[in-house]
């Protein structure tokens, strides 16, 4: 079996489902695993999610790329680093995140950052914005179809929704994104694939394998991972149209 390319959707602090899903992939050192961000907030244990990912990275289980989500961006701003909308962090699920780190009193900025394990702070600060390969353009929220690839703002990459989702684009990539939850994976080929399937809301955690075109999914509260062949989605895709 050759190297495979996996993309994982929004986790939102649900470590048990993440661990079960990753175990089912039977990863090898040659495989590539890209995470689309939103590791934290709303779910029960953001700290455990990052511990799991850092442990896999240290063990060199495979090639791993960690993208930033809008929730990490808010968290970083809340901690006093470069980011946006830190004032909205707590009301957007941040209370659960700081609880997972054992915060016992209201604190923010550098006082809060000092309470995080240094390796966790390094993890958040090192998150990438995009990952581009032959198979896909990976990004948390999407792309503005009316701008060039080089003209995208970080805010659009982390926050855009309808303007991207409901319009075709003329970028030379299929964009795989999270951020906006759907009941099931959104296939709009050849333009985009949305793989945030609302795990923290009682939905599923989704992982798309782009090499053999398989979809791995686990329901919230379950340990069973369902694997389906989605290659037919590409076979049925309409020819690409230039964006208007």
Q: What are the boundaries of each domain within the chain? A: 5-235
User: The tokens of 99 are what?
Assistant: 């609880």
pLDDT per residue of the chain (244 residues) written in tens, 0 to 9: 689 999 999 999 999 999 999 999 999 999 999 999 999 999 999 999 999 999 999 999 999 999 999 999 999 999 999 999 999 999 999 999 999 999 988 788 999 999 999 999 999 999 999 999 999 999 999 999 999 999 999 999 999 999 999 998 999 999 999 999 999 999 999 999 999 999 999 999 999 999 999 999 999 999 999 999 999 999 888 777 654 4
Return the exposure string of 134-160: e unless at least 16 CB atoms fall within 10 Å of the residue's CB, then b.
ebbbbbbbbbbbeeeeeebeeebbbbb
Cα–Cα distance measured from residue 210 to residue 237, given in angstroms and rounded to the nearest whole number: 15
Neighbours of 29 (CB within 10 A): 10
Report pTM.
0.96
194-197 long-range contacts (CB < 8 A, ≥24 apart) are: 194/165, 195/7, 195/8, 195/9, 195/36, 196/9, 196/10, 196/36, 196/38, 197/9
Question: Which two three-digit tokens encode residue 185?
Answer: 């994976």
Q: Write down the CATH superfamily of domain 5-235.
A: Metallo-dependent phosphatases (3.60.21.10)
Query: Whole-angstrom Cα distance, residue 52 to residue 14?
Result: 11
């Amino acid at each position: 079996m050759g190297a495979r390319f996996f993309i994982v959707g929004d986790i939102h602090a649900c470590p048990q489902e993440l661990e079960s899903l990753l175990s089912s992939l039977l990863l090898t050192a040659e495989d590539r695993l890209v995470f689309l961000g939103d590791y934290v907030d709303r779910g029960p244990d953001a700290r455990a999610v990052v511990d799991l990912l850092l442990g896999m990275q240290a063990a060199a289980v495979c090639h791993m790329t960690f993208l930033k989500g809008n929730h990490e961006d808010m968290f970083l701003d809340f901690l006093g680093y470069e980011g946006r909308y830190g004032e909205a962090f707590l009301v957007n699920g941040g209370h659960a995140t700081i609880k997972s780190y054992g915060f016992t009193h209201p604190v923010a900025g550098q006082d809060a950052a000092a309470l995080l394990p240094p390796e966790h702070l390094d993890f958040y600060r090192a998150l990438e914005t995009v990952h581009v390969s032959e198979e896909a353009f990976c990004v948390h929220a999407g792309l503005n179809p009316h701008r060039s690839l080089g003209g995208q703002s970080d805010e659009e990459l982390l926050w855009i929704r309808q303007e991207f989702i409901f319009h075709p684009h003329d970028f030379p990539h299929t964009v795989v994104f999270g951020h906006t939850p759907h009941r099931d994976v959104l296939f709009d080929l050849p333009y985009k694939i949305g793989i945030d399937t609302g795990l923290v809301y009682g939905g599923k955690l989704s992982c798309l394998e782009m090499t053999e075109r398989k979809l791995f999914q686990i329901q919230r509260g379950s340990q069973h991972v369902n694997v389906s062949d989605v290659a037919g989605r590409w076979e049925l895709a309409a020819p690409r149209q230039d964006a208007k």
